Amino acid sequence: MEKPAGLLLATERYGSGQSWSYRVKNGVVERRRDSSQGGSRSNSVVDVFKSIFLPQGYPDSVSGDYLQYQFWDTMQAFASSLSGTLATQASLKGVGVGNQEATVAAATVTWLLRDGTGMLGRILFAWRKGSKLDSEAKKWRLFADVLNDIAMFMEICAPYFPACFTLIVCTAGVFKSIVGVAGGATRAALTVHQARRDNMADISAKDGSQETLVNLAGLLVSLILIPLVTDNPGLTLGLFFFFTILHLFANYKAVRSVVMDTFNEARLFIVLQQYLKDKRILSPLEANQREPVFFEFVKSAPIRLGVRLQEVVQSPDELNMALKDNNMPYLLGIRNGCVSVCLGPEASVSDEIRAMCQAVWLSCTLTSREHSCSTPKQQSPWDMVCESHKLMDANFYPFLQGVEAAGWDVKRTLLDWDEWRVGWKTKST
C-alpha cells in the first residue's frame, strides 16, 4: 500500500547550519530544505563564503571563542598590512630606489645584511624562548605584534638617518625575525586550542585563506595610499601611528577573547587563589578574563619545574626533609628565593598539577613574607614545604574534582616543565 502524500521519511542536516527533510508526495520521494532556513540566493552566497573561509563543520568543529578571535585577528592583520606598506616604501627609499647616486651593489649588501642578521636572530630566539611559547601563548602573541610595530617604525625612520641606515634596518630585521618565530609558534598553539575535531590542518588552511583575503584588501587600499604619502613624511607618520593604534587595539582584543581550558602557571594561580580564598572554582572564561596578557616586571618568587635533584636538595639530611610528609612522586625545595620542583618518572598529569599548586602556594607565601611590614619568627624553608604538603592533602582532590566539573581540561597542561626526571630512595631511618 502506497504511503500518503507528505509523509515524513527521514531528516538530515549538514553540520549545525542546514537541514533537509525527505517526504513522499504522489509516490515520489522529495528532498526539501527546512522552511525556517529559507532558500534565497543570498543564503547560498553566504554558504559558499563560509565553505571557503571557515573550517568544515563550523561552528561545532572549533572552540567557542573562534569567531570573536578571528574577527579581531582580521582587523589587526589589515592594519598591519597597511603599516607594512608604509615601512616597505621607506626601506626602498633608504636603499636608494629613485636615487641616481645609489648603486645596486650597496643596496644588495644592505638587504643581505638585514636578511642575515634576521636569520641569526630567528635561530637564537627559538633556542632561548621556544619552550615558553606554548605555556604563555597570549603574552608572546601580543609581544610579537608590539615588536613588529616597533620594527616597522624603525624602517620608516631609517631613511632620515643615512649614516645609521644599515644598522637600523638590520636591527629591525632581527625584531621581525623574532616576530616571525613568536607569531607563527603562538598561532600554532592557538590552532591546537581551537581545533575540536583534530582538524588543526583545516583551521590553519582556512586561517591562511582569511589572511590572504585581508592582505588583498590591504593591497587595494595601499594602491590609493602610496601616491598620497610619497614625499610626505608627515602624512606617512600620521597614518602609521593611526594604523599602529588600530593594530595594537585589535591584537589586545584578540588575545583577550581567547578562552583556553588548560592550565598554565597564570591560570592555575588565579583559580587556586580563588579556591583557597572562598572555595569557589572559577570557570575557564572567568580565569581567562583575569589572566594578564602583558609581561609583568614585578612577579612573585620564581618557580622552576622539572629541575635536577641538586637544585632541590644537596645533602642526605635535606632529602629526608624533602620527603617528610611527602608520598608524592615529586620533591619541592626552596633555594635562593626560588621554588624548585623535581619530578619523578612515574608522575601523572594530576601529580604535575598538584606539584604546581604547591609551588604556587610556596611562591605566594615567600613573596608575602618578603613584603610584610611585621617581622614574625621566620619559618624555615623546609617547614614551609612540609606545610604545603599538608595543605594539598586537605585541599587538592576536592580542588581537582571542582576544576574538572567547571570545564577545565585536566588530562593535559601547558605548564612549563623541563625534561629532568629523577628517581630517589625513600627516607632513611
Q: Which three cell numbers stand for residue 219?
A: 593591497
Distances (CA, A) of 209 to 84, 97, 206, 214: 19, 32, 5, 9
Q: Strands 28-33 and 303-305, how do they pair?
A: unpaired
- Cα separation, 331 vs 339, in Å, equals 11
pLDDT digit string, tens, across residues 361-401: 999 888 887 665 444 456 789 999 999 999 999 999 999 99
- Cα separation, 351 vs 355, in Å, equals 6
Express as a percent the part of the chain with pLDDT over 90.
57
Say what the pLDDT of residue 429 is: 42
Say what the pLDDT of residue 2 is: 44
Q: At what angle do helices 66-94 and 165-194 cross, to 10 degrees?
A: 160
**Residue 274 · residue 309 · CB < 8 Å:** no
Query: How much is the pTM?
Result: 0.83
List the CATH code of the domain at 66-257: 1.20.1250
Closest residue by Cα to residue 252 from 126, 125, 135, 144: 144
pLDDT band at 67 (very low <50, low <70, confident <90, very high): very high
DSSP string, 216-271: HHHHHHHHHHHHHHTT-HHHHHHHHHHHHHHHHHHHHHHHHH----S--HHHHHHH
- Cα separation, 304 vs 47, in Å, equals 50
How many residues belong to the chain?
429
- Positive or negative: CA dihedral 295, 297, 301, 304: positive
pLDDT mean across residues, the chain: 86
Buried b (16+ CB within 10 A) or exposed e, 197-234: eebeebbeebbeebbeebbeebeeebeebeeebeeeee
* Residue owning grid cell 618578603: 370
pLDDT digit string, tens, across residues 162-198: 888 889 989 999 999 999 999 999 999 999 999 989 8
pLDDT band at 251 (very low <50, low <70, confident <90, very high): very high
Q: Where are the domains of the chain?
A: 7-53, 66-257, 265-405
Listing from the earlier edge strand, what are the strands of the sheet with 28-33? 7-14, 18-25, 28-33
Span 265-275, average pLDDT: 94
What is the helix (H) or strand (E) element at residue 338, kind and residue range? strand 338-343
pLDDT at 68 over 80: yes
